[in-house]
Amino acid sequence: MTRFIDVPQLASLVRAVGAGRFMTELAAAIKADYLRWNDFDKTPRLAAHSARGVIELMPVADRSRYTFKYVNGHPSNTALGLPTVMAFGALADVDTGYPRLLSELTLMTALRTAATSAMVAQHLARPAARRMALIGNGAQSEFQAIAFHTLLGIEEVSLYDIDPAATAKLRRNLAHTVPALAVSCAASTAQAVRGADIVTTVTADKAYATILTPDMIEPGMHINAVGGDCPGKTELHADILRAARVVVEYEPQSRIEGEIQQMPADFPVVELWRVLEGSVAGRESAQQVTVFDSVGFALEDYSALCYLDQLAQAHGIGTMLALVPPAGDPKNLFGATLADPDRNPDQNPDPARHAAARASAEFADITADASPSW
């Protein structure tokens, strides 16, 4: 049987653990997996682009586990009352191909993106960073604010969005969730970023945009550029990149989708795993401007699904599904699923009658040798 986790079940789990603790533990899992970089079979995500958005598949695997995520990006969905981003994914055993976990990943993507952003900022931002500007106040914004407050000790955040209702929503949610965080609202991007140690851009429009321009950048800033994540979608003026130290998740993917799609193929960047293992410096001086050109990489979803699988088992969260045929004669799919049980009850036992016992036995067998990857 396969464990299935829907949105209400994941939300219940996050509330039980606490969003701050959840993202802190998730950030540690993501970092641990980046430190195993060479253990993974990696590829840029597969994308199907349309005039209104993109649908992508994001696979990755190590020797024991395989994961994938289905995710879309459709900025105009908000006019239809639909999320801009929707996602689900699966975790499977490499040796058998057996699907261990099927889960919603819309909420989980927001959590893992924010956890990754904050974990990276621990290595790229100045140690005394306490003030952040948050440009783009949509669905991802609360998660970013909570993660940076929890993992980096950010004390002040200045908000700006072209939609005042989005900013009001974010301020209201943060006041209730993180009362210790001082929140202010700016009248422009330039006003919001003035004096900030960290600038997070998380806008949604699928366009070559210049949310940040060179005149807004101050020495020592760390820029967490999240919104530019597919071809034809950017947030930073190219001159900001030219003057900064740029860190990416997976260079072959970032060259296609990230801020660096604006730059020549030989534009120098540093892959994140090298910074985390200490072979390459992240920030080289207090005055240096650093950019995390974040597009979201499948390894982060691997970490998220493995973390979720372990946590869901510990908390008893999820529904067991007969996603694949029951155990029995593997050469008799027809008999196990479509044959008349009254004609041959021994060949086709009633799935409902034996589901509970089979679920327990099969899941115990599949997970017996499993161990966390972090």
- With contact defined as beta carbons under 8 Å apart, do 189 and 220 qualify? no
Q: What's the pLDDT at 151?
A: 98
What is the band of 344 on the pLDDT scale with cuts at 50, 70, 90? low
Nearest 5°: the CA angle 291, 297, 302 is 135
Same domain, 69 and 207: no
Same domain, 151 and 204: yes
Same domain, 222 and 267: yes
Per-residue model confidence as pLDDT tens digits over 256-300: 999 999 999 999 999 999 999 999 999 999 999 999 999 999 999
CATH code of the domain covering residue 73: 3.30.1780.10
What's the total number of domains in the chain?
Answer: 3
In a domain, 86, yes or no: yes
In a domain, 308, yes or no: yes
What is the band of 231 on the pLDDT scale with cuts at 50, 70, 90? confident
Q: Which amino acid is residue 93, in one-letter code?
A: D
In a domain, 160, yes or no: yes
In a domain, 365, yes or no: no
In a domain, 306, yes or no: yes
Same domain, 186 and 282: yes
Residue 338 phi/psi, 5° resolution? -115, -15
Q: What's the pLDDT at 28?
A: 98
What average pLDDT does this structure show over 68-83? 94
- With contact defined as beta carbons under 8 Å apart, do 132 and 201 qualify? no
Q: How far apart are CA 76 and CA 183, in angstroms?
A: 28
In a domain, 226, yes or no: yes
In a domain, 115, yes or no: no
User: What is the set of active-site residues?
Assistant: 229
Neighbours of 145 (CB within 10 A): 25
Q: What's the pLDDT at 259?
A: 96
Same domain, 143 and 62: no
Q: What's the pLDDT at 167?
A: 98
Same domain, 90 and 136: no
Q: Locate tokens 């041959």: which residue?
A: 344
Name the least confident of 160-164, 311-315, 348-352: 348-352
Q: How far apart are CA 245 and CA 248, in angstroms?
A: 10
Residue 104 phi/psi, 5° resolution? -60, 145
In a domain, 273, yes or no: yes
Task: Quote the domain boundaries for residue 340.
Answer: 325-359
Same domain, 80 and 174: no
Three-class DSSP category at 301: helix
Per-residue model confidence as pLDDT tens digits over 79-113: 999 999 999 999 999 999 999 999 999 999 999 99
Same domain, 67 and 166: no
